[in-house]
Amino acid sequence: MQKKLTKLQSFNAVARLLQRYFDHKPSSDLATVLTNMSFLKNKHMIDSIMWEIWLKSLSQVIKIQTYKKVTIEQAFIAMGLYLEDFLGTEDIENDMIFLQYNIRNFSKNKLVDPVLFKEWQECVREVLAVKDSRAYFYISPKKQ
């Protein structure tokens, strides 16, 4: 049976994949996206526009607006639209070019970097294995 994710789980799987890339090779594009995708302790997003962009990206991939869950393939393709919508396609760093290129290939049924897709599947498994898969951003209180 094919694994499916909720909208939130798919969003969080994207964040995990981007975090892996950032941990391997930090970049300002990744830092910007990851910070804005983070949740605060109260479970609210740092930037709610990121959620709106994610929903828009999903709806471009899934034409039926009453969907409850998405496949890992649909979420992967939506990630490409999401990154393009937020960062654009010009003047972006190599890691984003690599991701967008591979996701475009995948959406056209062309070859994709096997390591990238394997990492994506691992991120999906991690998200599905926990109750709360949000990436939290904690801000320490200012000392006076």
Structural domain spans, the chain: 4-128
So what's the pLDDT on residue 139? 45
Confidence at residue 141, expressed as pLDDT on a 0 to 100 scale: 43
pLDDT at 74 over 90: yes
Question: How would you class 19 by CB atoms within 10 Å of its CB: exposed for 0-12, middle for 13-18, buried for 19 or more?
Answer: middle
Residue, of 40 and 106, whose pLDDT is higher: 106
> What is the average pLDDT across 116-122?
95
Give the pLDDT of residue 140.
Answer: 43
Q: What is the DSSP string of the chain?
A: ---EE-HHHHHHHHHHHHHHHHHHS--HHHHHHHHHH-B-TTS-BS-HHHHHHHHHHHHHH---TT---EEHHHHHHHHHHHHHHHH-SSS--HHHHHHHHHHHHHHTT----HHHHHHHHHHHHHHHTSS----B---PPPP-
pTM to 2 decimal places: 0.86
